[in-house]
Structure 1
Amino acid sequence: MVISRREMARAKVKKLKKGFSAFSETQEITELMERYIKEEKLNVHVDKTSLGCWFIPADGTEHETRPHS
């Protein structure tokens, strides 16, 4: 099964738009995500590490994890 890197990057940006963090493992996906984030004018904090890159919504809309009842 072939997974399009563009589709993968767009799916991760879609998660960001919903307020969830996203992680990119490769430089190619990171660059695509940065381009799509710029196009969408999203307010995102980027944390680059040696293992990959975290994209975190910077407007405080990230969903909190709640325990199941």
Structure 2
Amino acid sequence: MFVFDKRQMADDKLNELLSGNTVYAETEELIRLMNRRIESHDLDITVDSTDLGCWFIPNN
């Protein structure tokens, strides 16, 4: 059985955002971790929330 480390997933997604890529998070825990990392790095990100998750879109 493979267990996902949510903190590592959030770090990987943050690195994608820092590279200018759009990322998606579908669990509330991952969305919370992403929001915390975005705030701490003071990134200009648009968050598009849906019923199934959130898209994090970097603003250029």
Structure 2 gap ranges (5+) = none
Larger-Rg structure: 1
Q: Deviations over 1:37-62 (max 9, x none)?
A: 11111110000000110000012xxx
Query: Please, what TM-score do these two structures have when normalized by structure 2?
Result: 0.93
Computed over aligned residues only, the root mean square deviation of the Cα atoms, in angstroms, reads 0.6
Aligned to 1:28: 29
Q: Deviations over 1:6-62 (max 9, x none)?
A: 000111011000000000010100000000011111110000000110000012xxx
Query: Which structure has the highest helix share of the two?
Result: 2
Number of equivalenced pairs:
59
Percent of aligned positions with the same letter in both sequences? Answer: 42
Query: Please, what TM-score do these two structures have when normalized by structure 1?
Result: 0.82
